[in-house]
Structure 1
Amino acid sequence: MHRWNDDELRKIADADDLHVSPFREDGRTYGTPTWIWSVAVDGALYVRGYNGQNSRWYGAAAQQKAGRIVAAGLTKEVAFEPVDGPILDSIDEAYRSKYRGNRYLEPMISARARSATIRIVPRQAGVRS
């Protein structure tokens, strides 16, 4: 598994244009790009499903565990890893910092959204995790 280089992670974290496309059930075709919020914490990239585990993209990401993202002018093949535990509090803080004042912030730090937190990890094209 690869890590984000500092420049890529900074560009993605600073942008507000991340689109996620988990693979469809065939494991080869990308799903419809979905715009979502992203944050960086301790050198890792995280996203959450606004509708929790009922978010369509989240279900596909949890099942397929791979796909791609497009953000900050970058297109990256990625793996999706579910997240739980104490890191969720740090992710909440990152959301508060980045999206302060936005009316959608509270739902994004709710228990529903926290239950659908995913770490996005870069991977080599054509390599499934």
Structure 2
Amino acid sequence: MSTWTDDELTRAGGADELQVSSYRPDGSLRPYVTIWVVRTGDDLYIRSAYGPDNGWFRRAKASGRGRIRVGGIERDVLFAPAAADVHEAIDASYHAKYDRYGARIVNTVVGPAVVETTFRLLPVD
């Protein structure tokens, strides 16, 4: 495993969306899904807006690894749980970046209900 470069954090954190895919058991990638991404500190986070039953989230959780594409970056990642003490900061990052879309939409990715659907994206070489 490696760390994000400053350039990757800037490009991914500044992008409105990223594409995420998980690996199938045979090693092939599933189709990419477009979702929101936030940078909090030196980490990137994604959340399932439609809960733990959302297909991409279930598959990513089961696989534990996948690939992202964003801002000219294409990297393999691990889907790791976020630390318990970072969720308030992640919420603040979502609000700062996406509040322009309105509370009805942003509220699907902030608050206690989405803690269990949060992935910290860990880059893999």
State if a TM-score over 0.5 links the two structures. yes
State the shift of 1:47 in Å: 0.3
Q: Which runs of 4+ in 1 moved over 3 A?
A: none
Query: Partner of 2:93: helix, strand, or coil?
Result: helix
The residue aligned with 2:109 is: 108
Aligned position for 1:76: 75
Q: Which residue of 2 aligns with 1:58?
A: 57
Aligned to 2:87: 88
The alignment's C-alpha RMSD in Å is: 1.3
Name the CA distance, whole Å, in 2 between partners of 1:118 and 1:72: 19
One-letter amino acid matched to 1:120: L
**Alignment length (residue pairs):** 123
Instruction: Give unpaired runs (5+ residues) of structure 1.
Output: 125-129
The CA deviation string for residues 30-85 of structure 1, in whole angstroms up to 9 with x for no partner, is 11100110001110000000112111111111111111000011111111102251
The whole-number CA distance in structure 2 between the counterparts of 1:114 and 1:101 is 22
Give the equivalent residue in structure 2 for 1:9.
Answer: 9
Distance in structure 1 (CA, Å) of the matches to 2:4 and 2:62 = 23
Segments of structure 2 that go 5 or more residues without pairing to the other structure are none
